[in-house]
């Protein structure tokens, strides 16, 4: 592939990957709460669970390449009063552990937390067998689960702590590449409450994960053309912030969603369902179009599969024509 994405005019400073922020937050939890334990399926250096393992070796278990077993062990630990955080690549923990997540975690509503790293196609050269492009849809299909997709390191750290406080099963996706810094240590995050950027009333762009940075770049480019957009960082996919979505639909009259995930069953599907319950408005959807990606650099993949800033701008202009 030779595609070279155009550099956006509005630049954001890059920080650490959300997977690394998860590892830091998990270690913080270990220091403050002795009931927090951790598990990993032979990928602790990649998921950054190794930070916890090094500091608390007697509260960490590596299950080897056995994700289904890891999920079951986590559920058992939760039933014994522990707060387990089990991590692996998103494609492995969701695809290989789904039956156990359903029967062992969702059905009995156990207080277990699951974290899928290397999500989406921005994992890059590892190719489609390692890319989880359906994990949000699968997680949302688990009754009673909280489903999270943080956008930067500060969002990730805060939501890891919210996961520990929440009673019930949770799933969070994290990513491999470094992410743009969107927030600071003073920012607060709540499960089920979106972060709103701007008060534009021409349209709303609702995004999650890495797409939030692209959405903010699109917001800046549209502003230069006299189009005033607001951006919603929908870090919680389930339970989704229906109040923020209803306000965006009513006040803006048009919505674009953006996600590094298949359009089937992901953020766009959740937002559309909320919109139909409040104020139906024209919508456009930026996401992966019913396909698996190939192997290339993260930048090449995000551009080829239509997930970067220009595609959000294009979707915004298209939805405005239907407003």
Catalytic residues: 67
162 is written with which tokens?
């919210």
Query: Concatenated DSSP letters for 7-76?
Result: PPSS---EEEEHHHHHHHHHHHHHHH-TTEEEEESS-HHHHTTHHHHHH-GGGEEE--S-HHHHHHHHHH
Cα distance from N-terminal residue to C-terminal residue, the chain? 37
The dihedral sign for the CA sequence 175, 131, 260, 96:
negative
How many CB atoms within 10 Å of residue 310? 16
CA-based nearest residue to 206, from 283, 265, 278: 283
Look up residue 118 and give its DSSP letter: S
Partners of 288 in beta bridges: 262
Q: How many residues does the chain have?
A: 323
């Amino acid at each position: 592939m030779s595609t070279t994405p155009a550099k956006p005019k509005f630049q954001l400073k890059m920080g650490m990957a959300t997977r690394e922020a998860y590892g830091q937050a998990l270690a913080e939890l270990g220091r403050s709460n002795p009931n927090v334990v951790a598990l990993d399926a032979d990928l602790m250096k990649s998921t950054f669970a190794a930070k916890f393992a090094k500091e608390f070796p007697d509260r960490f278990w590596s299950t080897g390449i056995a994700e289904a077993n890891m999920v079951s062990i986590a559920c058992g630990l939760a039933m014994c009063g522990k707060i387990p955080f089990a991590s692996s690549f998103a494609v492995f923990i969701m695809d290989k552990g789904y039956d156990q997540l359903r029967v062992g975690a969702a059905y009995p509503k156990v207080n277990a937390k699951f974290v899928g790293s290397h999500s989406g196609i921005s994992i890059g050269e590892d190719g489609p067998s390692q890319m989880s492009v359906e994990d949000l849809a699968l997680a949302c299909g688990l009754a009673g689960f909280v489903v999270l997709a943080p956008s930067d390191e500060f969002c990730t750290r805060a939501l890891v702590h919210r996961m520990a406080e929440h009673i019930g099963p949770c799933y969070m996706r994290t990513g491999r590449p470094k992410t743009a810094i969107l927030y600071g240590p003073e920012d607060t995050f709540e499960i089920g409450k979106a972060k709103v950027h701007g008060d534009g009333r021409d349209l709303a762009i609702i995004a999650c994960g890495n797409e939030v940075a692209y959405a903010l770049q699109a917001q800046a480019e549209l502003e230069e053309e006299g189009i005033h957009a607001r951006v919603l960082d929908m870090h919680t996919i389930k339970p989704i912030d229906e109040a923020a979505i209803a306000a965006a639909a009513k006040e803006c009259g048009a919505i674009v969603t953006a996600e590094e995930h298949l359009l089937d069953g992901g953020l766009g599907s959740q937002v559309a369902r909320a919109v139909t319950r409040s104020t139906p408005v024209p919508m456009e959807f930026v996401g992966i179009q019913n396909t698996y990606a190939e192997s290339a650099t993260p930048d090449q993949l995000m551009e080829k599969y239509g997930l970067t800033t220009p595609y959000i701008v294009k979707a915004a202009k298209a939805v405005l024509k239907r407003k």
